[in-house]
Amino acid sequence: MFENFKWDNESKIIKREGSTLLLEAHPGKDYFINPEDGTRTLNAAYYYKMVSGNFLLRAKVTHEFISTYDACAFLAMQDDLTWCKLCFEKSDFGTNAVVSVVTDGVSDDANGVNIDGKTVWLQMIRKGNLFSLHYSSDGKKFYMVRLFKLACDDTLKVGIVAQSPTGNGGEFLFEHIALEDHQVENMRAGL
């Protein structure tokens, strides 16, 4: 499953088994360009592979939600200024939330639905320069978080992030990871 994966900001793989990874997040690390002051933080543990064209990335993610902005995340990245991220994050409102960030020179920050519990399925889809982000409670029926266009190259870094920007790090679990060349017909429904 993880053939040709590489690290930016390498971290420890605590467990690798089939399509499951348990990663250690570094303390104080994130991917975010603050829209308020332009501060760049591009240093969280990022395990990715180069992907050309359309893709679907899906996994069941779990963590302990200890510190604000702790998150399991998906990241599709062209360069430091062009990328998108889908997170299951401890929000600054104290909720366990599905959060999206789109960066085109600067990041935005959009809190989505709050989730009861510490586990959710995430899904990121690319079709040309159209991206859709989804979540699911059961890994079968997905609900859209966001649909957007992002002008980017055909080949991107695509993978998973363990982040703890205000905390002391921790263990972040990604299960049933699937990264496929997949043509989706209905971007809103994720099908």
Dihedral through CA 9, CA 126, CA 74, CA 30, nearest 10? 60
Residue spans of the domains in the chain: they are: 6-180
The pLDDT score that the predictor gives to residue 11 is 96
Q: Does domain 6-180 have CATH number 2.30.110.10?
A: no
The pLDDT score that the predictor gives to residue 183 is 79
The secondary structure of residue 151, as a DSSP letter, is: -
CA distance 78 to 183: 20
CA distance 171 to 23: 6
pLDDT in tens, 70-129: 999 999 999 999 999 999 999 999 999 999 999 999 999 999 999 999 999 999 999 999
Tell me the sheet residues that pair with 6: 48
What is the arrangement of strands in the sheet containing 96-104, beginning at the earlier edge strand?
6-8, 45-52, 155-163, 71-79, 82-90, 96-104, 110-114
Residue 166 falls in which region: left (phi positive, over 0), alpha (psi -120 to 50) or beta: alpha
Which residue intervals of 23-99 are DSSP H helices?
none
pLDDT in tens, 136-175: 999 999 999 999 999 999 999 999 999 999 999 999 999 9
The secondary structure of residue 26, as a DSSP letter, is: P
Contact 9, 23 (CB under 8 A): no
pLDDT in tens, 51-74: 999 999 999 999 999 999 999 999
Share of the chain above pLDDT 90, in %: 96
Q: How many Å is the Cα radius of gyration of the chain?
A: 15
The mean pLDDT of the chain is 97
Contact 13, 167 (CB under 8 A): no
Of 75, 42, 89, the closest CA to residue 152 belongs to 75
CA distance 29 to 166: 8
pLDDT category of residue 184 using cuts at 50, 70 and 90: confident
pLDDT in tens, 172-183: 999 999 999 987
